[in-house]
A and B are shown apart, each in its own frame.
Chain A
Amino acid sequence: MSAIHLRYEVPGDDFTRAGEASGAVKKRLKALGYNSDAIRRVAIAMYEAEINMVIHADGGYCDVDIYPDRVEVLLADKGPGIPDVEKAMQAGFSTAPDNVRNLGFGAGMGLPNIKKYTDEMRIETEIGVGTNLYLTVKVNS
């Protein structure tokens, strides 16, 4: 079976729409019959990443490739880049503004949560250029 390829734009100016891509992917995986634990892990990781894109990078896009044994996601933005990835990975470290905290995010749990729910996670980031976040979730592990 060849991969199913999906692409979603993540609008940067509308926090209320963050999660639309994750929700759509979740629905698609469900229709394809993947197991619910794997679907949830993909959805949560992608959702946290979408929120990050809206908070920090003025949006971007997601590329999703669905294989029989795994789901690969690329979340790409043209935001400010991450100055210190190691620090950003620490639970509780956040540079999100206060208004984001009022919405229930910005606790410094985004990247740690993403790492927790994925089998592979890779960050390519360049200051002033943007960030590419690569995620892989194995489906039958």
Chain B
Amino acid sequence: MVIKDIIDILEGEVICEGNLDTEIKTACGSDMMSDVLAFVKDQSVLLTGLVNPQVVRTAEMMDMACIVFVRGKQPDQSIIDLAKSRDITLIKTRYRMFTACGLLYSKGLSGGCE
């Protein structure tokens, strides 16, 4: 799966475009950044309902290539600028967290922490 597939599956809208052909192996869904930081396992997508710059920083530390904001949440310009400078793709989807994670999981994306 690549980032383009995630956009299709989640009927997402690209807010900040990095390399959309980046391969995605695993994902992580959380609003608690410390939990995201607790499990290092080459996760490449972060799904979250949290909208602040620390979401981008967390993704940066974890080498994640893509952040999906659920429930149609729109990050502000400072978040978009930060993501742009880190080459991280930002997507928003109208789906809620559970559904967004479920859709990706059902298409073969795993959590990678089992």
Contacts and interface: CB of A to CB of B under 8 A. Distances in A.
Contacts of B86: 23
Contact of A109 (B37, B50, B55, B57): B37
Contact of A40 (B33, B53, B57, B61): B61
B63 interface: yes
A103 interface: yes
User: Which applies to chain B's interface (DSSP): helix, strand, loop or mixed?
Assistant: helix
B8 interface: no
Given A44-B40, A107-B32, A113-B34, A36 B52 contact: no
Contacts of A78: none
Contact of A23 (B33, B37, B57): B57
Interface stretch (A11-19, A62-70, A118-126, A129-137): A11-19
Interface residues on B, range: 20 to 34
A16 B54 contact: yes
A47 B53 contact: no
Nearest to A42: B61
Contacts, number: 71
B106 interface: no
Nearest to A112: B38
Of the candidates A18, A104, A110, the one having the most CB atoms from chain B within 10 angstroms of its own CB is A104
Interface string A26-57: 10000000001000110110011001000000
B54 A104 contact: yes
Contact of A15 (B37, B54, B78): B54
B37 A48 contact: yes
Interface of B: 31-35, 37-38, 40, 48, 50, 52-55, 57-58, 60-63, 78, 86
Q: Which 10 A-B pairs have the closest CB atoms?
A: A19-B57, A109-B34, A104-B33, A43-B61, A16-B53, A107-B34, A47-B61, A104-B50, A44-B61, A44-B37
